[in-house]
Amino acid sequence: MRTQVAIIGAGPSGLLLGQLLSRAGIDNVIVERQSAQYVLGRIRAGVLEQVSVEMLDECGLGARMHREGLVHHGIELLFKGARHRIDLHDLSGGKSVMVYGQTEVTHDLMDARKVQGLATFYETGDTVKLHDFDGARPKVSCVQDGKAHEIECDFIAGCDGYHGASRASVPASALKTYTKDYPFGWLGVLADVPPVSHELIYANTGRGFALCSMRSPTRSRYYVQVPLQEKAEAWSDAAFWDELRRRLDVEAREHLVTGPSIEKSIAPLRSFVAEPMRFGRLFLAGDAAHIVPPTGAKGLNLAATDVKYLSAALIEHYRHKSDRGIDDYSRKCLARVWKAERFSWWFTSLMHKFPDAGDIGQKLQEAELDYLVSSRAASTALAENYVGLPL
Ligand code: FAS
Ligand code: PHB
């Protein structure tokens, strides 16, 4: 078969790119390793920057998000047993964030693609291969239900995440990668209980980091920092709730509603960037090119802005016969990626307990937090990064 753009991966990056290209009349095919149900079963991001909200609106898919999503104008920082609100809306000149889970974003994009009857090969397993993307006639091959498919295309979008085939298909000599692994993970629990507070609470405590988030007024998402070697199955619900309570302030502890977990998993924390993000007719987007620790809620939003730049570049190529956007894609993305990497590293370094930091490490973090919440300049810096830097 032939298409204009072959997209590898049906996560948020691939699905969002597929929507934007289709709306511009550009033919595309998505190949996805897993089943749609499996992709939807992964519990990941929870916070959308305004630019991501606007992209879903641009795809005509914002209705459920605006109906069910929660607009947040602030977050709270908890340290030394007290909470301090950061007024994101005031400090960022009127911006806010939308709490609407990645699962829902993916659901909306998948439903739209299905209604539009756009070609999507699910459950291709590890059969996807990329061919000749450094030439003029790239191809993607895969096997689905035992049937081999060869997809001739003009361009390949590698939207297949950190462990995908796209970046792995690039000769190591053509790539420069940067990696920082953190000495802890996030144990996350999803539960159908009302959130402990109406805004997110990021907690720095002597026992480690905790985050109180949510998906709706009746569904909460909580995280506690755990050592890397921990296993989610070793944590009973009761043990999780007890540990979370130990990391909350008195009021939050009193308001915490607990219940059975409907999902429990541990995510490692990593900073990673692959440069460049373009190889001939192959473009990397989203987690295929970069990973941030989730502290700054940047992962999904960075994927969205990569897709914004890539879709504009491809539309310019087909509509105006210009490759200016394509030639500038990697530079433009990486300028934004590195700023988000810095913010995510800084916020992670400020809020987590590092094994080798000693007692002075906690004191230095508390001093920085004291300064942060008492300085408009410092709070503004946090706010403008958290809501998303201008494009
Ligand atoms: P994804 O990884 O979401 O999607 C890639 C898709 O490609 C997957 O569906 C995969 O099955 C498919 N694929 C992989 N290899 C393939 C192959 N060889 N052939 C075909 N398909 C292939 N971000 C936040 O902002 N907040 C969070 O709290 C947060 N939590 C996270 C927790 C975990 C465990 C992980 C891994 C990430 C988390 N992230 C979080 C980041 C996450 O939301 C990503 O930024 C987001 O999923 C990026 O979307 P994609 O680039 O589409 O990559
Ligand atoms: C989430 O709700 O999953 C979430 C929210 C904010 C973060 C990370 C994760 O910084």
Given this model, what pLDDT does residue 215 score? 96
- The answer to whether the bond into 293 is cis (omega within 30° of 0) is no
Distance separating alpha carbons of residues 156 and 154, to the nearest angstrom? 7
Residues 6+ apart with CB under 8 A from 85: 74, 75, 76, 199
What is the CATH T-level fold of the domain 181-268+353-387, as seen in this structure? D-Amino Acid Oxidase; Chain A, domain 2 (3.30.9)
Among 293, 294, 329, 352, which one carries the catalytic annotation? 294
Q: What is the mean pLDDT of the chain?
A: 97
| pLDDT, tens digit, 9 for 90 and up, residues 119-160 | 999 999 999 999 999 999 999 999 999 999 999 999 999 999
In the chain, % of residues over pLDDT 70: 100
Question: Going by CA atoms, what residue is nearest to atom 37 of ligand 1?
Answer: 44
Query: For position 285, what pLDDT does the model report?
Result: 98
Q: Looking at the CA of 269, which ligand is closest?
A: 1
pLDDT digits (tens, 9 = 90+) for 261-272: 999 999 999 999
For range 70-91, the mean pLDDT: 98
Q: What percent of the chain has pLDDT over 90?
A: 99
pLDDT at 40: 95
- 161 CA to centre of ligand 1 in angstroms: 5
pLDDT at 386: 98
Ligand 1 in reach of 303 Cβ (< 6 A): yes
Other C-beta atoms lying within 10 Å of the C-beta of residue 93: 10
Is 3.40.50.300 the CATH number for 5-70+98-179+270-348?
no
The per-residue pLDDT for 142 is 98
Question: Among the atoms of ligand 1, which is closest to the Cα of residue 15?
Answer: 52
Q: At residue 333, what are phi and psi to the nearest 5 degrees?
A: -65, -50
Distance CA 316, CA 21 (A): 11
From the CA of 297, how far away is ligand 2's center (Å)? 6
Mean pLDDT of 288-298: 98
Instruction: Tell me the per-residue pLDDT of 155-199, one tens digit each, with 9 for 90 and over.
Output: 999 999 999 999 999 999 999 999 999 999 999 999 999 999 999
Question: For a pocket test of ligand 2, which of 213, 220, 225, 265 has the largest count of ligand atoms closer than 8 A to its C-beta?
Answer: 213
Contact, 20 vs 314, CB < 8 A? no
Domain map of the chain by residue range? 5-70+98-179+270-348, 181-268+353-387
What span, in angstroms and rounded, lies between the C-alpha atoms of 24 and 314? 10
Q: What is residue 152's predicted lDDT score, i.e. its pLDDT?
A: 98
